[in-house]
Amino acid sequence: MTQSNLIDFDTKTQSFHLHNDDISYVLGIEAGGVLAHLYYGQRIKQYHGHLKSPRLDRGFSGNLPKSSDRTYSLDAILREYSYEGDGDFRTPALVVRQADGSRSAFFKYQDYTISDGKPTLAGLPATYVVDEHEAQTLTVNLVDEVSQLTLAMRYTIYRQRPVITRSVQIINNGEQAVHLEKIASMMIDLPVGEKDVISLLGGHANERNINREPITFGTKTFQSRRGTTSHHMNNFIAIADTQTNEFKGEVVGLSFVYSGNHKEEVSKDPYGTYRIAVGINDDQFDWEVAAKDSFQAPEVIMTYSNTGLNGMSQALHNLLQQRMVRSKYKNSVRPIVVNNWEATFMDFDEARLQPIVDEAKDMGIEMFVLDDGWFGHRDDDNTSLGDWQVLAKKFPQGLQHFANYIHERDLQFGIWFEPEMISIDSDLYKNHPEYMLKVPNRTPSPSRNQFVLDIGRPEVRENIHSQMKAIFDNTDIDYVKWDMNRNLTDIYATDLPASRQGEVMHRYVLGLYQLLEELTTEYPDILWEGCSGGGGRIDAGFMYYMPQSWTSDNTDAVARMKIQYGTSLAYPISSFTSHVSEAPNQQTGRYTSLQTRGAVAMSSVFGYELDLTQMTDDEKQAVKEQVAQYKQMRQLVQYGQYSRLIDPNEGNRCAWMFVSDDKNEALVFSFNILSQAQPENKMLKLVDLDADKVYEDVATGDEFGGDELMHAGIYEPAVFSDFNAMIYHYKAK
C-alpha cells in the first residue's frame, strides 16, 4: 500500500514541511542559501510562506556578504544551524578551524534528498525503523565553498509518533584537513513566548532531580565534562511553555543519544528569540577531519507534546522501548533478581551465597546476581579491576559450579563486571601499564582508587573482550551488570599526535560503543544491565545496547520516589531497576516499612538487595507475597502506559499510575511521606482511563466509573505513620 508523504518541499515558498497527524516542522531556504527555522509544533495543514522572522534593520547585526539589504541579518532571523564566523553573534552550533587557522565558514544550501525509512549512524546508537514506511528522512546538504566542506543535516519524522530525530554530518571534500572545535547535533531558534527549561540534575546517589526554571536573557548551559552522561546532569532537557504541567500544555523534549560529554545550551536574545543547541560538549573536543573523510555527530530525539509533560514522556517511553532497544528482552517481562551487593559487599564465598540462593528460590525470586568481588584477588575496591578471572578462594570449585547450583534451583545467574577500569594492583597493569588513560610525565588522579582504560584503542578493547568472552564461554551466565565507577581524567591517548588529543573523549565513547556492539551481538541471550555507580550513565544511547540500567546506588524508598519520578521524565519504566534493601537504609539511615520499600521498588523493574537469610519469618512471608504480587503486575508496570500524578518535589505526597493498552486495568501507587496530626483530606484523580467503563477496586470490590475516577477522584485514607504506601488495583468489569 502506498503511504502518504511525511515530508514535502514547496518550490513556491522554498520550504520543507515535515508532518504527520500530530506535528509539523517547517524549515526554509532563505536569501543567501541560509536554512531558516519557520515553525515547530502542532500539525498545520500547509505553510503558506508568511511566518518569517520580521525583517528589521537591527543595529550592529551585520548583513549577508555583498548585500545591501540591511533588514536581513543572520544575527536576527530564526535559524536551523549556525556557524562561527558567519555574522551570527549568538551561540554557534558549529565551529570549524579551517586549514588557514581561521574560524570562518558559510554553509550555503546546495540540494536535498527525501527518502523512506531512516539511515543508521555508523558506530553510533540511534533510533531505528522496522518498516521503511514508518518514517521519512530529509537530508539537506549545505556547502562551504571555500573549504569544500559539506554539512549534511538529517531530519527523520516518524509517521505515528510525535517525534523528529536530527543529526549532522561533516564531509570534507576539500584538499586539506580541518578541525571541528564544536559540532552540535541539532540547533533550533524558537520565536517569542514565555518558556521554561527542565533539566535533570543531581549527584551520585541523588540522580535526575527535576529542575525547572524560566529561560531568561543570556545563555544557560547544562553539561557533562566527566566523560560520561553523569549523575550530575543528564543529557535530556525539555523546553516547556510556562503554563505547561504534567497534564496539559506544550513541551518539547530533547534527548541526546550519546553516553559521553554533552552540552545543552539554552539562550534568549534581546529580541525574544530562543536558541537551543544540543551536542557533544565542545569543551575538551577538537576533531580532525582529514581531506575526503567525514565526521558523524550523534542523534538528538525531539518529542513534541501538547498534552503536558506526561504526553512527552509517554511518546519518548514508547519510542525508546520500541525503536531504541534492540535486545531480545525488549518486550519481555524482566526477571525478579536478588543482588548480593548490599547483603555481603565483597565479603563472601560460594558457601556464604548458597543460602541466599536457597531463600531466593523459596521466595519465588528468579535470578541471583553476583556483584563486585568475584575476580582477581578482590576483597576491597583497591585491587584487581582488569583481571577478569575467578577468585578461587571464593569459588574453590569454579564459577560454573556456583552457576550450576543456581540453575539447579531454577534461578538464573547474573554477574557484575566493570570492564572499562584498571587497578594499579592488577596483572593487567603489571603487563600493560600503557592501557591506562594517563598523561605522560604526570601522575594520574585516582577515584575510588581506580583508573580508566583507554577503551578508544583497539588493543585495549580486544584484551577486555577476550577476558569477558572466556568467562561467558565457560560459565552459564544469563545476565550481566556492566558497571563504571568513576569519571574520566588524565585525558591522553598514546596512539594520537599532540594535534589530535582533543579526540580522546569522543574516541573513548566510540570505542565503548564498539565493544558493547560486539559483546551484545555475540551474546544476545544475556540480559545486559547498565550501571555507573548507580545511574551515572542512564541515557538513550546506552539503551541501544542494554535494555535496562541500575537507577541509583540510593535504595532508600523515600529518596527513590524523587529519583524514579525524575527518571521517568525521559526514560521508560522497563529501562530502570529498583531493589528493596534493608532498613534502616544504608545510604540515608532512614527506616521505612518493607511494604513501602516494596511499593517503590515494584514501580519499576523489581528486585531485592539484602541478605534474605537474615530476615524474620514474617518478613520472609511478606517477601513471598511481594514477589507473587509483582509477578501479577509486572507486565502492566513494565509495558503499560505510565503517568506521573503527584510530584514528590512539591509536597508531602507522590503518586504515579499505569494503565493497560486496552484500558481494562490500572495500577495506582500513592505515597504519603510524613504523617500529620489532623491531616488535610487527600484526593487522587486518575488519568488515561476509559470514561465509559466501570472499574472495580480489586481489593475492596467497590465500583467506580472511569469518568468518576478521572474527574471526581477518590479520597485517600488518612494514615498516621510516616512513609506510607498504597497500591490501588482497578479492573474494568
Cis upstream peptide for 584 (omega within 30°): yes
Indicate which single residue of 483, 503, 647, 716 sits in contact with ligand GLA (rule: CB under 6 A).
Answer: 483
The number of residues that bind ligand GLA (CB under 6 A) is 11
Find the residue with minimal CB distance to ligand GLA: 372
DSSP string spanning 221-254? EEEE-SSSS-SSEEEEEEEEETT--SSSB-EEEE
What is the grid cell recorded at 727? 497500591
Instruction: Enumerate residues 415-434 that contact ligand GLA by CB under 6 A.
Output: 416
Q: State yes or no: residue 287 binds ligand GLA (CB under 6 A).
A: no
List 387, 483, 539, 647, catalytic entry: 483
Residue indicated by cell numbers 549532522:
168
Q: How far apart are the C-alpha atoms of 656 and 672, rounded to whole Å?
A: 12
Please identify, using beta-carbon distances, which residue of 341 and 388 lies nearer to ligand GLA.
341
Q: Is 531 in the site for ligand GLA (CB under 6 A)?
A: yes
> Looking at beta carbons only, is 58 or 486 nearer to ligand GLA?
486
Nearer to ligand GLA, 234 or 273 (CB): 234
> CB of residue 207 vs ligand GLA: minimum separation in angstroms?
11
Binding range to ligand GLA, per CB under 6 A, among 498-506, 526-534, 582-590, 698-706 = 526-534
Give the one residue of 371, 454, 688, 716 binding ligand GLA; rule: CB under 6 A: 371
Closer of 28 and 533 to ligand GLA (Cβ): 533
Nearest approach, Cβ of residue 424 and ligand GLA (Å) = 17
Please give the backbone phi and psi of residue 527, each rounded to the nearest 5 degrees, phi first. -85, 115
Among 207, 265, 553, 582, binds ligand GLA (CB under 6 A): 553
Catalytic one of 454, 553, 556, 647: 553
CA distance 526 to 535: 21
Q: Which residues, in sequence order, are bridge partners of residue 605?
A: 577
Binding part of the chain for ligand GLA, among 309-317, 321-329, 528-536, 650-658 by CB under 6 A, reads 528-536
Under the criterion CB under 6 A, does residue 372 sit at the interface with ligand GLA?
yes
User: Angle at CA 203, nearest 5°, toward 543 and 212?
Assistant: 85
- Euclidean distance between CA atoms 134 and 156, whole angstroms: 10
Does residue 534 interact with ligand GLA by CB under 6 A?
A: yes
Query: Rounded to the nearest whole angstrom, what is the least distance from the CB of residue 485 to ligand GLA in the complex?
Result: 5
The stretch near ligand GLA (CB under 6 A) out of 6-14, 497-505, 527-535, 599-607 is 527-535
Cβ 322 to ligand GLA shortest distance, Å: 27
Q: Which helix (H) or strand (E) element contains residue 561?
A: helix 557-570
**199: helix, coil or strand?**
strand
Q: Please report how close the Cβ of residue 464 comes to ligand GLA at its closest, in angstroms.
A: 17
For residue 625, the SS3 value is helix
Question: If you search the block for the grid coordinates 537530508, which residue do you land on?
Answer: 139
Three cell numbers, residue 49: 510562506
Q: DSSP secondary-structure letter at 711?
A: I
Active site residue 144: no
The one-letter amino acid code at 160 reads Q
Minimum CB separation from ligand GLA for residue 206, in Å? 13
Region binding ligand GLA by CB under 6 A among candidate stretches 49-57, 406-414, 530-538, 639-647: 530-538
Nearest to 440 by CA among 503, 487, 497: 497
Is 483 a catalytic site residue?
yes
Neighbour-count burial of 104, counting CB atoms closer than 10 A to its CB (0-12 exposed, 13-18 middle, 19+ buried): middle
- Residue 2's CB is within 10 A of a number of other CB atoms, namely 5
Q: Which of 25, 256, 550, 723 binds ligand GLA (CB under 6 A)?
A: 550
Q: What's phi and psi for 417, nearest 5 deg? A: -135, 155
Q: Which residues are catalytic?
A: 483, 553
Chain residues in the site for ligand GLA (CB under 6 A): 341, 371-372, 416, 483, 485, 531, 533-534, 550, 553
